[in-house]
């Protein structure tokens, strides 16, 4: 059932500098997680994207980039699905 999603996850993980990725539904429940992404962070990732959407509700959901010294976390919402990609800084 989740073969297609698994394929997307594999593709993302094969990209250079990607250390983890996570997908969650609109209820903040984890659909898939791989690498450094932790299942428990699904709810918080969805909450962050929800809050960002409130900034300009008429436009399509923004991409949120959280940056630390060594890593970047990109959060993007598409319909009811929210995806997060954890990347190493180059």
Q: Could you give the C-alpha distances from 57 to 51, 63, 64, 68, 74, in angstroms and in order?
A: 10, 13, 15, 27, 19
Which backbone phi and psi does 13 adopt, to 5 degrees? -65, -25
d(CA 80, CA 78): 6
Is 20 one of the binding residues for another protein (CB under 8 A)? no
Q: Applying CB under 8 A, which of residues 8, 13, 19, 28 lies at the interface with another protein?
A: 28
Is 44 one of the binding residues for another protein (CB under 8 A)? yes
Is 85 one of the binding residues for another protein (CB under 8 A)? no
Given the complex with another protein, which of 40 and 69 has the nearer CB atom?
40
Q: Tell me which residues touch another protein (CB under 8 A).
A: 24, 26-30, 40-44, 46-47, 50
């Amino acid at each position: 059932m989740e073969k297609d999603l698994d394929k997307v996850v594999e593709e993302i993980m094969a990209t250079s500098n990607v250390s983890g990725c996570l997908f969650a539904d609109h209820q903040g429940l984890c659909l898939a997680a791989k690498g450094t992404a932790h299942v428990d962070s699904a709810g918080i990732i969805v909450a962050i994207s929800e809050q960002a959407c409130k900034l300009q509700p008429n436009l399509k959901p923004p991409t949120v980039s959280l940056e630390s010294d060594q890593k970047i976390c990109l959060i993007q919402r598409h319909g009811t699905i929210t995806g997060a990609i954890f990347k190493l800084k180059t």
